[in-house]
Structures are given as structure tokens and as C-alpha cells.
A and B are shown apart, each in its own frame.
Chain A
């Protein structure tokens, strides 16, 4: 099987029995052992189980008349999503031997649709990072340049898609953790609307922000995976009871052409400011020109509270993280420090020994933000500004259907470059956090390359539950350009 096959092509070929799920799986596992290993993209591979599952899918295809929508599609899963088989480490030493007692809802749904999970991918510890350098299992190298970061926190998932190990992967996005690595690695990555995809089985970082979403080489494959994982789940109280369209079907040429006739794209002025790298700006300008040529109306809009989004995000996310991570206490699951004389010491010794430096920094900041005397000044204030940020988006969407913005001010930076300066690292998220705070769907797709040959990402942000519009706009751009077909090693 060719590494360049899309998920849609694999599912069709397996259902038509032109190729077996087992053959596809063997190919993906071989690539995982070479290209995946080169980038340090996997924390664990599920070799034996994947092959057993692939044979099961082949048997089902032979005996059933109803095709499986994702028959035999090999997929990689970010290692903060619970799987009943193997370990779920969240990139942390405290969960190095943790075996989840249940499958996440997204895992159940994907496997029912016929996917083959080949492994669990590397991430920043508890998804806290923008470069994948904060993983207890080592950083993930950028497939386009091993001296650069993959982006975080879903760096492993982005790298395995970029290198063609698998056509699709799952990531999670709290403040940009799907979109940023997608941009840095040159793939498509969607953060769905808050509540669109169940968080049941996603290891919590910041519960009001966390969302699971797909990364893929093509927008059509993003749509295919979204259709499988979206939808109401009674096991997640914030899961929305909204109809799930057949997203892949909405991407056929007729539907996309119809959408383009009325589509209005807004350019938020605050995202095109002086921090934007010149090469990123040029790539976005070229993309805007493509949309104009496709007949799309372009307008400028304002999101006046954008400059407060980064602070708002880090105050709220760390506050929630400090509460969510209190559970790593050495009692019920995970690692436990040796030799503690009493219970309080057991808690502190375990957390001190097994949590990493960035996680501790965020726990400390979040504890401060929620502490007596500071709660109103920081946490409550940030929740107020979050309201203003969401109002900004509502006003902007009165004048346009989607927003077009950079995913990040720069392309992938060098490993170590921002590692010692948390503020500089947090700045990588400056263009992704606002959509997260407002709970909006946003997709990053490749839209160019720097002189140095690193991918550049473009972000489209939509109204709540308007994933269809986002995907159609992204698909229209994709069809008009060739950026999404480029792979590491190609000459541009």
C-alpha cells in the first residue's frame, strides 16, 4: 500500500476487498518503526493488537454487506486519550504504567467505524506546551527539519501524519494544541466546537477548553474522522445534543461551489499586526488572493480584545489545571513515591518526583490565580474578559461567515530556542487561544512554505457548530493549491 493513500481511499479499497486491512496495517506499522521513530513521534505502538484488529475488520468486510465507513484506516491516537489496551501516559512520568480502565468515547466510535489504532503519540506532558519539548518521553522532531520543533502539544500526531505513517490521527486542543503542530508540520488540523466531540476519556488539562479533534493530510479526511467522532455523549455533561452532518458528503464539488457563491471571509485586523513574520504574512496574502479569485467576498473585521486573549487563556487554563491535576496524589492510580512516612508527605513526594517542570509551573500559577485574595483579581477578571472576547467574535460574525488568520506568527522554531523562556513559549499560542476561549471551531491548513522549507499554516475560525462551512472553505482552498500534497523530502 502506498503511503500517500488517503483515509477515504483506504476505506473504499478495503470495503471493495481490493486490499486487506491487514496489508494496510502492516505498511503503517513498518513506516511507524522507521519514520515515526526518526521523529520520536510515538510513545507506544500497538503492533500485535493492531494486526488482530485488522484481521477482524477483514473478516467483517467479508461477512457484512454494510460497508464500514473507516474500514481498515490506520490511525494514531494522542496519548492523553484513554484506551483500554496498552498504556495511556499523557506524556507524564506519573502515568508511565497507567492502564486506562475504559475506552474514551472517540475510541469506541472510531473502532466501530473500522479504524485500526496503530499506536499512541507523543505530546507535551498533560498537553501543556507549544513545542512538544515538555514530554517526559523526549521532544518530537519536526519532519521537515529535525532541528526544529514539531509544535505542541499534539506534536506526535502531526508528525506521523506529515510523514505519511498514517493518513489521520487524533489530537486534543486546549489553546491551540491541534492547530499549532498542524501548522508547523504542514498538515490539516481541526479544533471542533466546544461540545461537538465527547471529552469522555480525554485526560483533563483545562475542562472548559479541552476538545478532541482530527489531524489529516487532506480536509476530506478531517471531515471523515469528524463525522465518526462527533455527536452527543451522555457520559460528557458538556457534550452538545446537536445533529451531526455527514461532513465528508458536504465536501463534494457541488456543495463547495454553492458555498463559495455566498461565502464572506473576515480578516481580523488585530491578527495581522507587527508580530507577524513577513513570510507568514506573504503566504496569507497569497491565500486571500486565491479566495478572491474563487469569487469569495473579503472584508476586514475587528476583534478589539485580542491583545488580552493570551493572558486570559493562561490564567483560566492554569487555574483549571491546578484543580484537575490534584488527582495525581499517589493514591488511586499512577506512580507513587517510595518511603513517605505519612499521607501528606506521600502526596507531595509523589507529585514532586513524577511531575515535570512546566506542569509544576502551571500548577503553581493556577494555584495562585485561585488563592484567597487573588481569585477575584485574576480568575474572575479573566472570565469577564473571556465574555468580551466571545462578544467580539459574535459581532464579527454579524459581518462575515468565517475568519481567516495566521495559525501562529512564525513557522516552526528551533528546538531549545524558547525552552527557557515560558513567556516566549506562551507567545506561540497568541493566534489560537481566542477561538478556544470562545469555544469556536477552527482549522489550520497548510498555505505555503518559508525560504528555509518549513510549512506555514492558515487558520479559519467559524461560528459555533459551523464546521461544515469551515471545512468547505478549507476544501475550496485546498483544491485550488498544492500545499497540502507536499511532504517532507519534496523539493518545493
Chain B
């Protein structure tokens, strides 16, 4: 939940690290909490800017954003797409299991 202060506690950092798929030690969690808090504090001025009469710009105004024509074309070959895979087998990327078996299986 958003609150008024620009403080980030260790629990929030733990949650962010999980979302970002990063493993942080307790020391690192504390450092990130302090560091991110300081950055947001320095950036808090922009919260006061009145943006009610302006269209938000996720891209520079006037940028092209064209789709290509719906024509089939040859993408990367299978072999080339797999060539950088850290572990591949039979034309597939190999990874450890995604779901653990439950005790009853």
C-alpha cells in the first residue's frame, strides 16, 4: 500500500527481490532499503508537479510505432536460436523441474 513517506522497509525489499528474481542476504536487504529510500527521497519533488493537463508519454511524442506487414518470413533457424542455450537437448532448452512432486505422488 502506498503511504506518504518515501521509506522502504526490509520486508518490502524482500518482496521486490522475489519479484525481481534476486537472492539478497540480510545485509543486502538492509542496504537496498536504505539506498532505495535515499533515491526516492531525492526524487520526491516530482510528486508535487501538476500533471493533470498533460498526456503521459511512455514514448517520445511523435515516435513511430508501426506494425510490420502481415507477411510470413523466415525467422532465426532452430539451431541458431538454440546455439546460446546453457543446456539443450533434442532441440529444446533443458531446465530443472518447475513443479515439485508432492509427498503422495
Contacts and interface: CB of A to CB of B under 8 A. Distances in A.
A88 to B, nearest CB: 10
Given A237-B68, A346-B96, A390 B56 contact: no
A308 interface: yes
A18 interface: no
A395 B86 CA distance: 52
Nearest to A465: B62
B87 interface: yes
Contacts of A342: 96-98, 100
Contacts of A368: 8, 12, 16, 36
Contact of A383 (B38, B56, B81): B56
A336 interface: yes
B60 A208 contact: yes
Interface in A304-327: 305, 307-308, 310-312, 314-315, 322, 326
Interface residues of B, number: 56
Interface string A377-410: 1101111111110110000000000000000000
Nearest to A307: B45
B21 A348 contact: yes
Contacts of B104: none
B98 A343 contact: yes
Interface stretch (A95-103, A118-126, A411-419): A95-103
B22 A333 contact: no
A439 B63 contact: yes
A194 interface: yes
Contact of B43 (A314, A336, A391): A314
Contact of A377 (B2, B81, B87): B2
Contacts of B83: 99, 101
A255 to B, nearest CB: 26
A17 interface: no
Given A241-B66, A383-B56, A343 B96 contact: yes
Given A101-B76, A344-B21, A349-B23, A330 B86 contact: yes
B interface, over-half SS: loop
A197 B68 CA distance: 17
A343 B99 CA distance: 8
Interface string A333-371: 111100011111111110110010000110111011001
Interface in A443-477: 464
A234 B23 contact: no
Contact of B86 (A334, A344, A347, A374): A334
Contacts of A377: 2, 47
A117 interface: no
A384 B87 CA distance: 44
B23 A352 contact: yes
B39 A238 contact: no
The 7 closest A-B pairs by CB, nearest first: A439-B60, A384-B51, A333-B84, A383-B56, A311-B43, A336-B86, A387-B54
25 contacts: A99-B84, A194-B63, A195-B64, A208-B58, A237-B68, A308-B46, A310-B43, A331-B86, A331-B93, A336-B86, A342-B98, A349-B23, A351-B22, A360-B22, A364-B22, A365-B39, A368-B36, A373-B2, A374-B2, A381-B46, A381-B47, A422-B35, A423-B42, A439-B59, A439-B63
Given A208-B60, A364-B22, A423-B38, 17 more contacts: A101-B80, A101-B83, A194-B63, A241-B66, A311-B42, A336-B86, A361-B35, A364-B16, A367-B19, A368-B36, A371-B16, A380-B56, A386-B56, A387-B55, A388-B54, A422-B39, A439-B60
